[in-house]
Amino acid sequence: LAHAHGTELDLRMRIELNSAHAHGTIVGLRMRIGQIIRHNLRSLRTSTISSVHGEAASIHDIRGNRRDAAFTNIMDDIVSYRRSHKH
C-alpha cells in the first residue's frame, strides 16, 4: 500500500543515495569541500596581505585564482581542446 501510494519519490531518493555511495561521490564531495576550505583560507591570507601592501593585493588575487583547482581544470580543458582541434 505504501508503495502504491507514491513512495516512488522516496524510493528514487534512496536509489540516488545508493548510487552515490557506489560511485564514491562522497570522496569527491570531501575533495570539493577541501577545495572550498583551501580557497577560503587563501582569500583570508590575501586580504590580510592586502591591508599591509595595498595595491599588491590585486596581483595576489589573480595569483590565488590561478591556483584555484576549478580554474586550473578549465584551463587544462581549453589547452587539450585546442591541441586536439589543431588543423
Beta strands (DSSP E) in 15-77 are none
- What region does 53 belong to: left with phi over 0, alpha with psi -120 to 50, or beta? alpha
Write out the three cell numbers for 22: 557506489
State the number of CA atoms in the 13 A half-sphere of 49 facing the CB: 15
Using N-to-C axis directions, what is the helix angle for 25-53 and 8-22, rounded to 10°? 70
Among candidate residues 37, 78, 45, the one with its CA nearest the CA of residue 64: 45
One digit per residue, pLDDT tens: the chain, 87 residues? 555 555 666 777 676 666 655 556 666 677 777 777 777 777 666 655 555 555 555 555 555 555 566 666 776 777 777 787 775
Helix (H, G, I), strand (E, B) or coil at 23: coil
Q: In sequence order, what are the residues at sequence separation of 6 or more whose Cβ sits closer than 8 angstroms to the Cβ of residue 70?
A: 35
Task: Tell me the pLDDT tens digit for each residue of 2-22.
Answer: 555 556 667 776 766 666 555
pTM of this prediction exceeds 0.85: no
